[in-house]
Chain A
Amino acid sequence: MSIVTIRGLEKSYLKYKRFGSGTVLGNAHWLLATLYRLQRQGRIVALRDVNLEVKRGEIFCIVGPNGAGKTTLIKCLASLLLPDSGYIEIDGLNVVEEPLKVKGKVAVIGSGFWAGFDWSLSVEENLELFAIMFGYNRGEAKRRVGEVLKLVGLSDRAKDDPTALSSGQRQRLSLARGFMFETPIYLFDEPTVGLDPVGAREIRNYIKDELRRQGKTVVFTTHFMNEAEDLADRIAILDNGTITAIGTPGELKQEFVKGKIVEIRASKVYEDGIERLRKLEIINLDAFFHSGGAEVTIRILTREAEDVLGEVLGLIMGSGGLVSYANISEPTLEDLYRKVVGRDGIEEA
């Protein structure tokens, strides 16, 4: 049964022309601000005809490149943004018509939300305020705040100002705020960004073990494909505002990355060799150029792995390159992502 339903969702933003600060007019600079509004410069389309459903208790991931529309989608779900058209339903409630009721069912953690914490209140006072907003009394709020601070490893910073925290700790605080509410749905926009590897793993484990055990529904965005593979029951790939693929990791691999991955690392590969490599069906090619030729890592998706491996090895060694590693493996989600999203299949470092 679906807990989140999105039908025909469209969202675009107006572009405005800036006039400057308006200081010439002193306090009356609202005059220029009004003119500023009038100078519209077209629209940026963020979401186009997005349709998806998330099942109750599912962990659902949205991946996509920068500017794909992931944050816009999360904000629309959280009622922090109104769609231009389309329909969003969360747990039986229309997001546009009943936003306050929806917000009572959704805990949202936006990327950079930590910036909104109040510098004049301590870490625990900030969280208490939001706990009270979600209906806890003072006693319950204090108890719950203690629990989530322990969960994110900030118990010893409870009395500090948010400004005294490092950026990673602020992200933990932001997560603590989201974990506090015990709502049926959690929306995370890049939850582990800015966290150290151990901290990121702890958060992933909490989502994977605790929230799943509690039967919570989680919708999250990420740039880390290992995170998506580790956590998600299903994944949607969002590119340029459109969902280009959706399914379980297994289904997506089966549909989009048929065959095996041939991976080769080599050095002393010169420009002509790289040009010949580019003509192959490459998933990804990283090339670091220096005076002794390039160090190259190449990944090729193919159904004839052994033949292609032989061909590439011959090509590299034939042009004087040195192969340090060669392997045939199953495709990863990263390969899938590069295949679906990559504009030309090749990215250079």
Chain B
Amino acid sequence: MKFTEMRRDLRITAYLIRRQFKVRMYYRVNFLLNILGTLVDLAVMAIIAFAARGAVSGSLGAYGGDYFSYVILGMVSFRILDVAINAPYGAVSDAFWNRRIELFMSSPVNPTFLIASLSFGTFVNELIPMTAYLVAGLVLGFSTEIQSWLWIPTLLLAFVACLGIGLMSAGSLYLLETKGQMDPIRWVMNILTKIVSGLYYPLSILPLWMQGLSLIIPHTYALDAVRRMMLGGTGSEPTLLIHGIIPLDPVLTDILAIFAFTLVALPLGYHLIRLGFRKALMDGRLSWWS
């Protein structure tokens, strides 16, 4: 890629981040109500954590033992990964229904890059409610004991892996004509991530077959690694099935697994969204108004 194209692409990304911010702030009352809703969710989690503290803290040795911190950190990390999975489909869908996709595709910029930039813009703007969430969490007793700052690149790597899945989902809009609200990829991910990623509870409390299922989504590894690195647990205690199979440090195993997911999901996602655009260009169905 030429230097001038890189500068152009950086400018586009900056502009689209700003654009996503304006979209978020367009209806300000709605924005404030969303923040308020997030805080209410947090309060509910705090109450549940308080009630369940005694029952689950024994299973949380690897994560520091505090259920409230375990859940809050899980929720924030999950939300970041959730943006990566949902934002590409949202960006393509919005552009499809509003005819913006034709304008995007009449420019000399790779449309997949535009979709990824819009998704990144959504992520950057999601930091606003997430910060509010974390600050309120800190007030209510969320505490960290950071073991390694590798949690940041680990989470970013997981974000990229999920972005690959998100691009697959966005490609399905054209490939499977899933132009409604949901597609099979996000539908399956939505169910799996909520049940077997370890978002609300440690996976060790689940039956073995469900723990096996948890290994096929990147969230499991990301949540485990980030919690281990941020909440100061008991070192190398295995928490996932894979930790008992691969004789490496659990955090390293998690990072390698996320890396493997990224290696597969990102090129596959890129390929599928390109196929999707190609199919739309063949069918003449690039936008609803085509």
B99 beta carbon closer than 8 Å to chain A: yes
Collect the chain B residues with CB atoms within 8 Å of residue A37's CB: 176-177
A135 beta carbon closer than 8 Å to chain B: yes
Chain A's closest residue to B16 (CB) is A129
Q: Is the CB of A13 within 8 A of B100?
A: no
Q: Which of B102-110, B153-161, B195-203, B226-234 contacts A (4 or more CB under 8 A)?
A: B102-110
CB distance from B176 to the nearest CB of A (A): 5
Q: Is the CB of B284 within 8 A of A116?
A: no
Q: Is the CB of A120 within 8 A of B108?
A: no
Collect the chain A residues with CB atoms within 8 Å of residue B8's CB: 132-133, 135
Could you tell me which residues of chain B, from 1 to 54, have a CB within 8 Å of some CB in chain A? 4, 7-8, 11-12, 15-16, 19, 22-23, 26
Q: Is the CB of A81 within 8 A of B108?
A: no
Q: Is the CB of B102 within 8 A of A80?
A: yes
Q: List 7 A-B contacts (CB under 8 A).
A: A11-B284, A30-B176, A72-B284, A116-B100, A121-B19, A135-B108, A177-B103
Size of chain A's interface in residues, with CB distance under 8 A? 47
Q: Mark B159-181, 1 if CB is under 8 A from A, else 0.
A: 00000000000001000111111
Q: Is the CB of B108 within 8 A of A100?
A: yes
Q: Is the CB of B278 within 8 A of A82?
A: yes
User: How many Å lie between the Cα of A27 and that of B7 in the bound state?
Assistant: 40
Q: Is the CB of A132 within 8 A of B11?
A: yes
Collect the chain A residues with CB atoms within 8 Å of residue B278's CB: 82
Collect the chain A residues with CB atoms within 8 Å of residue B11's CB: 132, 137-138
A153 beta carbon closer than 8 Å to chain B: no
Q: Is the CB of B176 within 8 A of A129?
A: no
A110 beta carbon closer than 8 Å to chain B: yes
Q: Is the CB of A100 within 8 A of B109?
A: yes
Q: What 8 A-B pairs are tightest by C-beta distance, nearest first?
A: A104-B108, A133-B107, A116-B99, A27-B182, A116-B103, A30-B178, A103-B108, A116-B100
Q: Mark B74-97, 1 if CB is under 8 A from A, else 0.
A: 000000000000000000000100
Could you tell me which residues of chain A, from 60 to 84, have a CB within 8 Å of some CB in chain B? 72, 75, 78-82
Chain A's closest residue to B181 (CB) is A27
Collect the chain B residues with CB atoms within 8 Å of residue A132's CB: 8, 11-12, 15
CB distance from B279 to the nearest CB of A (A): 9
User: How many Å lie between the Cα of A117 and that of B104 in the bound state?
Assistant: 10
Q: Is the CB of B283 within 8 A of A14?
A: yes
User: How many Å lie between the Cα of A116 and that of B95 in the bound state?
Assistant: 8
CB contact between A135 and one of B4, B103, B110, B287 (< 8 Å): that residue: B4
B286 beta carbon closer than 8 Å to chain A: yes
B289 beta carbon closer than 8 Å to chain A: yes
Provide the main secondary structure of the chain B interface.
Answer: helix
Q: Is the CB of B108 within 8 A of A33?
A: no
Known contacts A30-B182, A80-B286; is A133 also within 8 Å of B177 by CB? no
User: How many Å lie between the Cα of A70 and that of B173 in the bound state?
Assistant: 27
Q: Is the CB of B176 within 8 A of A113?
A: no
CB distance from A194 to the nearest CB of B (A): 15
A36 beta carbon closer than 8 Å to chain B: yes
CB contact between A30 and one of B99, B101, B180, B287 (< 8 Å): that residue: B180
User: How many Å lie between the Cα of A235 and that of B283 in the bound state?
Assistant: 28
Collect the chain A residues with CB atoms within 8 Å of residue B12's CB: 129, 132-133
A87 beta carbon closer than 8 Å to chain B: no
Collect the chain B residues with CB atoms within 8 Å of residue A198's CB: none
Collect the chain A residues with CB atoms within 8 Å of residue B108's CB: 100-101, 103-104, 133-135
B260 beta carbon closer than 8 Å to chain A: no
A108 beta carbon closer than 8 Å to chain B: yes
Q: Is the CB of A78 within 8 A of B98?
A: no
B126 beta carbon closer than 8 Å to chain A: no
CB distance from B171 to the nearest CB of A (A): 13
CB distance from B41 to the nearest CB of A (A): 21
User: How many Å lie between the Cα of A33 and that of B15 in the bound state?
Assistant: 34
CB contact between B109 and one of A30, A80, A120, A133 (< 8 Å): that residue: A133
CB distance from A49 to the nearest CB of B (A): 19
